[in-house]
Chains A and B, each alone.
Chain A
């Protein structure tokens, strides 16, 4: 059975700190790994990583995919209180397009 495990489950940091979130996965016929940010209700898309795109960066956020060791990291540098959210990792298999399996998420709290 496909599995997505995120760690840590939660963390509290001070503004300006760097945060590293982990996502390990086991999926047959891996197609993509995605990161989402969920603040209050709707998850919003951050990155998609595939075999042809194993590193992505947008502003203070960056992510890498290690297809050999089956994990991904999401980094947030110079954190701000607006980064407080739940960060969800999801994987998709190539034989089940449209089906994302989410991890439990990491709750990040950034204090002033």
Chain B
């Protein structure tokens, strides 16, 4: 069982909806990540939080809004998405940004935008 928990596992939303993806870890990790993975493609980095501060934003459109309320939680707020945003969204954590090799991934949230 993964130690990074993501909810919901599946989400279907319309282009005018507002929804959120949630991620939680209790390993004491101080770096958390959002990745986007399209079918048959590798994961692509979206955001990195280090010690609850946004440290990397890979030029992600503003319709995706990350939030890190505390060191255990990471949210991704979604608003006015497009059908091409449909993908598997993976959350990950590591002890620190310096220890990326030991990334622990959640099982992902499968998002479908209609």
Chain A interfacial positions (CB closer than 8 Å to B):
32, 34, 36, 40-45, 48, 88, 90, 92, 96-105
Contact = CB atoms under 8 A, between A and B. Distances in A.
Interface stretch (B39-47, B63-71, B79-87): B39-47
Interface of B: 2, 4, 31, 33, 41-45, 48, 50, 55-56, 58, 88, 90, 94, 97-98, 100-108
A88 B42 contact: yes
A41 B33 CA distance: 16
Contact of B100 (A100, A104, A105): A100
Given A99-B45, A104-B41, A48 B88 contact: no
Contacts of B88: 41
A97 B42 contact: no
19 contacts: A32-B101, A34-B100, A40-B107, A41-B88, A42-B2, A42-B4, A42-B105, A42-B107, A43-B105, A44-B105, A45-B104, A88-B43, A97-B98, A98-B48, A99-B45, A99-B100, A100-B43, A102-B44, A103-B42
